[in-house]
Chains A and B, each alone.
Chain A
């Protein structure tokens, strides 16, 4: 398929006692933002971890095709080298590591430029440590800068808007829009309607499956009607999907 960056086919993942992802199918094209919403515990973050190939998140079946390669057996390092990366909902801290060093781990980007891109003054931030003394908003912006440092083709953003101030939210929205302009694809996991609407399309994850996919306005309307107080319990899936 033309311009397809990521194709996920019948992806399943289960822990010892629970099936978390139950046959996920979706496609992300070049420069496209695919937003994913769903109530807590539906498997959004698990999907992000499975896509990135994190330890303990090996799918039980299915395919993840990235730029034409099935990467199901690839390590996170190999996936990153191909151009896929992930920004965690709560980013890690690195004791003793300066922001300048953190943004230059691959020696192929300019940390000062990256900081400017995420709206942070390099003179203030280059020599600060990537530790808990940074605010939530600062840490999220630095995480985005770090993600940009590898010039990715696909970024998975896990709730980039959670726990941050309005200014940082606006900066993050601007960055996501710019990514799209530059041809980078984004998988955007969020609980925010405003953020979800940045997507070219919105996917609604429910109990380990996508139950609705389409324009953000329509899917959010569907979500509000059925999912705020989980309306599908006791109904068969087809009944929901046919609404």
Chain B
């Protein structure tokens, strides 16, 4: 590995500034991968987890393997950072989760100085039979609004497998976000796709979560929680297909419009191609729930305090 010592220290400091624990990416007991722009600064495999990578134009191609029958005890930390204020980062990542294994990934994507940063994430995920994978993607952006984030995931879950994909913007402005998750599932598998984002000023949020329940007894939920302030825009497309007997799917979208010029839209596209399948959807779009707001005001919170409290819970 090249000597990126100073750059790595800088990334560690940036990680700590966003509330991270440096041991997450320094401990030899914890699987980790640290990338700044197109450079891998640190990588740590642990028993049952193997990470391979190669440089590509403007980024890194990563392959993550979890052995069959392996339980990775600690969450694997993936840091994808861009410390410069401009540039493009492409991360192509393939995850192969072996049968009967269990792993949790926490991906920290931070662009603290972004003025014009493009972060393109293209992932292929394969969750083996009876395996469990959870992937929590946490984003930390600058307040410039100049971050362009395009996470795209195509996943397949083998029979009995479980996948949880969660996207959260923790800090800063979204900028321009275009999430595209697509999951196909075999029998008795389950999935949950969840995105939680708050748009500010002129931010643009576009989310597509698609689940194809192809095997009997497969289940999946496509869930999104969006808060739109200022003049931000949100557009959510939740797709679930029940293509086999006894499949259960649900689309659950909640968008709060809390800005004079904010605009929200939600389109559920659900279909059932088997008489024994069942797919449902619910969507709530609009202002903060009046009863929630007034309950908190009746306990002494001001209207703004009550709104902050409700939004905090929704995006948690």
Contact = CB atoms under 8 A, between A and B. Distances in A.
B303 A77 contact: yes
Interface in A82-103: 85-86, 88, 91-97, 101
Interface string B280-306: 000000000111101111111111000
A31 interface: no
Nearest to B254: A95
A81 B290 contact: no
Nearest to A147: B299
Contact of B300 (A80, A88, A92, A93): A80
A77 B301 contact: yes
- Bin chain B's interface residue count: 20 to 34
A96 B314 contact: yes
Given A94-B310, A96-B313, A77 B300 contact: yes
B53 interface: no
Contacts of B303: 75, 77
Contact of A92 (B254, B291, B301, B312): B291
Nearest to B311: A96
B309 to A, nearest CB: 7
Given A91-B295, A92-B289, A97 B301 contact: no
A88 B293 CA distance: 12
Contacts of B292: 92-94
Nearest to A146: B299
Contact of A80 (B289, B297, B316): B297
Contacts of B309: 94, 97, 105
16 contacts: A52-B294, A52-B298, A75-B297, A75-B303, A76-B294, A77-B300, A77-B301, A80-B297, A81-B300, A88-B291, A91-B295, A94-B292, A96-B312, A96-B316, A105-B296, A106-B299
Contacts of A77: 297, 300-303
A55 B313 contact: no
Given A55-B290, A92-B289, A80 B298 contact: yes
A197 B12 CA distance: 66
Contacts of A92: 289, 291-292, 295
B126 to A, nearest CB: 31
A150 B299 contact: yes
Interface of B: 225, 254, 289-292, 294-303, 309-310, 312-316
Question: Ordered nearest first, which 5 A-B pairs have the shortest CB separation?
Answer: A96-B313, A97-B313, A96-B316, A76-B297, A80-B300
A120 B301 CA distance: 25
Contacts of B316: 96
A77 B314 CA distance: 22
Nearest to B196: A96
A96 B256 CA distance: 15
Interface residues of A, number: 26
Nearest to B296: A105
Contacts of A54: 294
A179 B314 CA distance: 33
B300 A94 contact: no
A100 B225 CA distance: 22
A35 interface: no
A163 to B, nearest CB: 16
Contacts of A96: 312-316
Given A54-B294, A92-B289, A92-B292, A150 B300 contact: yes
Contacts of B299: 80, 85, 105-106, 146-147, 149-150
A76 B298 CA distance: 5
A79 B302 CA distance: 11
B310 to A, nearest CB: 7
A97 B316 CA distance: 9
Contacts of B297: 75-77, 80
Contacts of B296: 105
Nearest to A52: B298
A94 B301 contact: no
A94 B306 CA distance: 11
A80 B314 CA distance: 24
Contact of B295 (A75, A88, A101): A88
A48 to B, nearest CB: 10
A94 B314 CA distance: 8
Contacts of A79: 298
A48 B253 CA distance: 33
Interface string A43-81: 000000000101100000000000000000001110111
B297 to A, nearest CB: 4
Nearest to A93: B292
A114 B302 CA distance: 23
Nearest to A85: B298
